[in-house]
Chains A and B, each alone.
Chain A
């Protein structure tokens, strides 16, 4: 088993969960209604917790402690997709991102339940079960607001058009893609993206939202290789602000 390939895979999944988890947490106290405030806060806690569990797998493979990994790296050492670090913007953008991201994530973890790396396969069974609540939440709102008023439909359509090229960046391939597939660690980004497109089409077909032709879109890549937008470093600075005051403190 190619351990470098495995670690890179774990880093990018955990970093995605941590960064979007942090963005979700920015809705705490700011949600458009109380239930949404709780939903985004709860999903934030799930995602940050899941990133912690994956950083623990990395720690078992010889990497640093989870807190060190999460709070002391700079932006160019993170492997999250640029999509996850974009600011929350309006609620419609957060909702569209939540839908596009979690639709991919639940398929990713479903594929990982069959990983040859057993600790990851075990964890994936658990995470997949939790993500059902996230996709349930996303699908419910997209179906309702995607067919509600003129304003809700046009807002979501605008956010969808903005989000899609970034969403495709989630499937930027690893340098070790063939090793991952060959060693049966992960079925690969191509299979994941195809299944994701199918599921996105199924849900959006129940709304008045329009999907552009996939071939007309260009993915916003770079995040997996540490090339990020200007939005990541300020997020990291804020996220690690308390930790950095005293990295040796016992909490």
Chain B
């Protein structure tokens, strides 16, 4: 029944599903879709949360199912797995640009995080690109954001946390 569908096609459909807390960023660009499994009996999407306690997970799951149903996939399933855990390096280049235009600083590469606190201290301002910034709080309005202040343009901003 689903033999003619490709993984690429399904991923294109899923670009329609946005992060409920960042409505410009698709789940595909966010990097939380880790597998698309197409079988004659149905389609299984594997997702992994950005943060374990992410409260938007259930909404994202039902949004994914809705899009698949809309494209005629009657037997669709979403499973949550930590086998391939999400890191902020999984956000695509397009996703990073979307974050920035939304006013959220994209996360710096997570690779240096655990040895270098400076990575958190000096975020780049998404408005003026200034680097003369300071960390106000490593915790923000959602689990995945930190709060910063730009000393160049004198505006507070948020950064998607590297993890």
Contacts and interface: CB of A to CB of B under 8 A. Distances in A.
A133 B117 contact: no
Contact of A46 (B81, B82, B141, B143): B143
Interface in A5-48: 35, 38-39, 41-43, 45-48
Contacts of B55: 45, 49
B138 A136 contact: yes
B2 to A, nearest CB: 27
Nearest to B139: A42
A38 B87 contact: no
Contacts of B117: 136
Name the prevailing secondary structure of the B interface residues. loop
Interface stretch (A68-76, A120-128, A191-199, A201-209): A120-128
Contact of A49 (B54, B86, B140): B54
Contacts of A61: none
A52 B58 CA distance: 13
Nearest to A125: B85
Contacts of B140: 38, 42
Given A130-B163, A132-B113, A49 B83 contact: no
A53 interface: yes
Chain B interface size band reads 20 to 34
B82 A137 contact: no
Given A45-B143, A130-B163, A132-B114, A35 B137 contact: yes
A65 B133 CA distance: 45
Name the prevailing secondary structure of the A interface residues. helix
B138 A130 contact: no
Interface in B43-76: 51-55
A129 B52 CA distance: 10
A50 interface: yes
A119 interface: yes
Nearest to B48: A126
B113 A50 contact: no
Contacts of A38: 137, 139-141, 147
A127 B52 contact: yes
Contact of A130 (B51, B83, B114): B51
6 contacts: A46-B53, A52-B52, A125-B85, A126-B85, A130-B51, A130-B163
Given A42-B139, A53-B82, A136-B117, 20 more contacts: A38-B137, A38-B140, A38-B147, A42-B143, A43-B139, A45-B53, A46-B52, A46-B143, A48-B53, A49-B52, A50-B53, A122-B81, A122-B85, A125-B85, A126-B82, A130-B52, A130-B163, A132-B113, A132-B114, A133-B138
Interface of A: 35, 38-39, 41-43, 45-50, 52-53, 119, 122-123, 125-127, 129-130, 132-133, 136-137
What 3 A-B pairs come out closest when comparing CB atoms? A49-B53, A42-B139, A122-B82
